[in-house]
């Protein structure tokens, strides 16, 4: 019989979701409903039948109103003309407010996303750190000078903000991913319109409301809510929007990129992943298994940088797999508000069914299901941590981004084979290598084509380190000093200091 993780039944009633949270969009510093008056209700992914929030169902007209507000704020307002120090003070203050309201924000994300309250708390703390780092760097942005044209000229390369940026964020880490983008964009002097997922808009709206208290001028940060088409799509189509940054699926990223390309508009994309963890025989096996398990099972595997593939050296496969099975069989899944819970719910029923479909394909393909493989509980969207021990390179569970708590295990004999298996994917977002041989670790990670990589770790890091993707995992850079380049443009200024003689 296949083992299943223990399940903590979701509570039937809790005063924290006795009535739905109601949010409004933020346009030009004003909290507003959709022009149509329509709203969208969010049913909790964890507590079946419980409506936890309600947001405006925006339209293209609402999106245009926000874009034009950002346009006016950029063209006529003080923000792009402020000193870097003045912008930095306000960005820093907003980070402080996020930290001060971390319990409120964590509860919003717990209820809307289905993640555990403890996980959400950690993400709110890190989001505040992102704002703090961006604030410190925003006052040190620089261009270039060229003093080698002789006595008659001086050259400058001026860094300037790109303009109005439309930012579309996903449902899995709404505030955190927004905080990886918004402070860098406004730190560069841009004005933004953010379209969070229609499932998880609450924390982003609260962040924009806090911007007013932080002293950020009206129109610099706007939030519109509703469906990607038409609300977010307009960011790629509208001439008043200079750039679109999209985080989400490869399929939608293709659409966004095509729309932006047709208008010669800058685009940043962070898309899917199929992250490999390469485990060599000399690795710390328990540490590798524990970290890989946390990566793929924590948050129900709903992270683009999850370790969804483990590529393990043949002679230690059984030992590492035994530890992984033990973890998957004992980690506690269930009620996100219960302090004992380690893994919460999946985002909604259609996604749960999609994961279920992939698991069924893995079973039919003979991938060797050793733990999990089915739903947990009688209500809510819960799925057991799942491991396939014999995943072939052409199976859908090995090739496709499932975005669920499903680990596909492959084996290798040589480092060259491990690298080939790791790179045998359309994606290139994340990867990690486990070994106690530093030379082997560095040579392997150099050869793996992925933008975010680790040696003997996964998922950790800081705002100082830029992030990116290879191939179908996207384009552009976020975080670190390179993140400001994403939202900046350079202007060539050639200064003539000495006039030449008469031409005629």
Q: In a 10 Å sphere around its CB, with 0-12 CB exposed, 13-18 middle and 19+ buried, how is residue 278 labelled?
A: buried
User: Residue 313 has which token pair?
Assistant: 């050296």
Q: What is the chain's Cα-based Rg?
A: 24
Both 198 and 285 in a single domain? Answer: no
In a 13 Å sphere around the CA of 163, the CA atoms on its Cβ side amount to 16
Beta carbons within 10 angstroms of residue 393's beta carbon: 12
In a 13 Å sphere around the CA of 376, the CA atoms on its Cβ side amount to 29
Q: Residue 459: pLDDT above 90? A: no
Give me the number of domains the chain comprises.
Answer: 2
**Do residues 462 and 481 lie in contact, with contact meaning Cβ atoms separated by under 8 Å?**
no
Both 295 and 230 in a single domain? Answer: no
Residue 314 sits in a domain whose CATH number is 3.40.309.10
How would residue 13 be classed by pLDDT, with cut points 50, 70 and 90? low
Q: Residue 80: pLDDT above 90? A: yes
Both 290 and 435 in a single domain? Answer: yes
User: Residue 73 has which token pair?
Assistant: 């704020």
Kind plus residue range of the DSSP H or E element containing 279 = strand 276-279
For residue 461, tell me if it sits in a domain: no
pLDDT at 17: 66
Give per-residue pLDDT as tens, 112-156: 999 999 999 999 999 999 999 999 999 999 999 999 999 999 999
How would residue 433 be classed by pLDDT, with cut points 50, 70 and 90? very high
Kind plus residue range of the DSSP H or E element containing 160 = strand 153-161
Task: Indicate the range of 84-93, 419-428, 465-474 predicted with least confidence.
Answer: 465-474
**Do residues 356 and 384 lie in contact, with contact meaning Cβ atoms separated by under 8 Å?**
no
For residue 253, tell me if it sits in a domain: yes
Instruction: Provide the mean pLDDT of the chain.
Output: 95
Q: Residue 309: pLDDT above 90? A: yes
Q: Residue 82: pLDDT above 90? A: yes
For residue 473, tell me if it sits in a domain: no
Region 101-105: mean pLDDT is 97
Residue keyed to tokens 């004003």: 30
Domain boundary among 236, 271, 306: 271
pLDDT at 401: 95
Widest CA span in the chain: 95
Region 466-477: mean pLDDT is 88
> Which domain range does residue 292 map to?
276-455
Q: Residue 277: pLDDT above 70? A: yes
For residue 222, tell me if it sits in a domain: yes
Q: Residue 14: pLDDT above 80? A: no
Q: Residue 487: pLDDT above 80? A: yes
Residue percentage of the chain with pLDDT more than 70: 99
Domain boundary among 240, 271, 302: 271
Both 284 and 261 in a single domain? Answer: no
Region 298-303: mean pLDDT is 93
Both 187 and 167 in a single domain? Answer: yes
Q: Residue 15: pLDDT above 70? A: no
User: Residue 51 has which token pair?
Assistant: 């409506």
Give per-residue pLDDT as tens, 346-360: 999 999 999 999 999
User: Residue 365 has which token pair?
Assistant: 């393909």
pLDDT at 397: 96
For residue 463, tell me if it sits in a domain: no
Region 315-327: mean pLDDT is 96
Counted residue by residue, the chain has a size of 504
Positions marked catalytic: 270, 304
Report the distance separating Cα 412 and Cα 491, nearest Å: 51
For residue 491, tell me if it sits in a domain: no
Alpha carbon 288 to chain centroid, angstroms: 24
Residue 184 sits in a domain whose CATH number is 3.40.605.10
Beta carbons within 10 angstroms of residue 129's beta carbon: 16
Phi, psi of 89 (to 5 degrees): -60, -40
Q: Residue 26: pLDDT above 80? A: yes
Both 292 and 214 in a single domain? Answer: no
Region 207-231: mean pLDDT is 97
Residue keyed to tokens 């985080």: 247
Region 451-478: mean pLDDT is 89
For residue 488, tell me if it sits in a domain: no
Residue keyed to tokens 């990116």: 468
Report the distance separating Cα 155 and Cα 163, nearest Å: 24
For residue 263, tell me if it sits in a domain: yes
Give per-residue pLDDT as tens, 3-12: 899 999 998 6
Region 235-258: mean pLDDT is 94
Both 264 and 131 in a single domain? Answer: yes
Domain boundary among 249, 271, 293: 271
Both 195 and 316 in a single domain? Answer: no
Both 113 and 193 in a single domain? Answer: yes
pLDDT at 12: 67
Both 155 and 84 in a single domain? Answer: yes
Both 184 and 281 in a single domain? Answer: no
Both 147 and 44 in a single domain? Answer: yes
**Do residues 169 and 196 lie in contact, with contact meaning Cβ atoms separated by under 8 Å?**
yes
Q: Which residue has the higher pLDDT, 43 or 15?
A: 43
């Amino acid at each position: 019989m296949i083992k299943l993780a223990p399940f903590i039944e979701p509570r039937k009633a809790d005063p924290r979701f006795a009535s739905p949270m109601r949010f409004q969009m933020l346009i030009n510093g004003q909290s507003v409903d959709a022009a149509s008056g329509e709203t969208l209700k969010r049913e909790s992914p964890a507590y079946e039948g419980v409506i936890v929030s309600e947001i405006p169902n925006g339209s293209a007209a609402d999106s245009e109103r926000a874009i034009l507000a950002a346009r006016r704020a950029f063209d006529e307002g003080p923000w792009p003309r402020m000193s870097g120090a003045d912008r930095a003070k306000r960005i820093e203050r907003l980070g402080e407010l996020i930290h001060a309201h971390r319990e409120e924000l964590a509860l919003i994300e717990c209820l809307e996303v289905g993640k555990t309250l403890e996980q959400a708390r950690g993400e709110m703390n890190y989001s505040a750190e992102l704002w703090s780092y961006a604030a410190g760097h925003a006052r040190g942005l620089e261009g270039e000078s060229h003093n080698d044209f002789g006595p008659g000229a001086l050259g400058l390369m001026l860094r300037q903000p790109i303009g109005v940026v439309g930012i579309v964020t996903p449902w899995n880490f709404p505030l955190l991913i927004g905080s990886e983008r918004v402070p860098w964009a406004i730190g560069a002097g841009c004005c933004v319109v953010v379209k969070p997922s229609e499932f998880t808009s609450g924390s982003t709206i609260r962040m924009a409301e806090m911007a007013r208290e932080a002293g950020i001028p009206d129109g610099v940060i706007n939030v519109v809510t509703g469906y990607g088409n038409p609300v977010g799509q307009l960011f790629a189509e509208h001439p008043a929007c200079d750039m679109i940054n999209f985080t989400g699926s490869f399929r939608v990223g293709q659409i966004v990129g095509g729309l932006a390309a047709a208008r010669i508009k800058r685009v940043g994309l962070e898309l899917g992943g199929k992250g490999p963890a390469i485990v060599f025989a000399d690795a710390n096996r328990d540490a590798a298994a524990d970290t890989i398990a946390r990566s793929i099972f924590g948050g129900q595997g709903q992270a683009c940088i999850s370790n969804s593939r483990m590529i393990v050296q043949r002679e230690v496969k059984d030992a590492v797999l035994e530890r992984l099975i033990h973890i998957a069989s004992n980690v506690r899944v269930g009620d996100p508000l219960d302090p004992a819970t380690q893994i919460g719910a999946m985002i909604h029923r259609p996604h749960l069914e999609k994961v279920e479909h992939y698991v069924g394909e893995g079973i039919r393909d003979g991938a060797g299901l050793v733990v999990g493989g089915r739903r947990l509980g009688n209500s809510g969207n819960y799925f057991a941590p799942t491991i396939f021990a014999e995943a072939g390179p052409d199976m859908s569970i090995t090739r496709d981004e499932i975005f669920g708590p499903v680990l596909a295990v492959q084996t290798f004999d040589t480092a060259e084979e491990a690298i080939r298996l790791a790179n045998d994917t359309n994606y290139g977002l994340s990867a990690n290598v486990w070994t106690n041989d530093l030379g082997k670790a560095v040579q392997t990670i150099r050869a793996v084509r992925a933008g975010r990589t680790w040696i003997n770790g996964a998922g950790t890091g800081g705002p100082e380190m830029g992030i990116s993707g290879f191939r179908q995992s996207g384009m552009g850079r976020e975080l670190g000093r390179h993140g400001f380049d994403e939202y900046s443009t350079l202007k060539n200024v050639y200064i003539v200091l000495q006039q030449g003689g008469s031409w005629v």
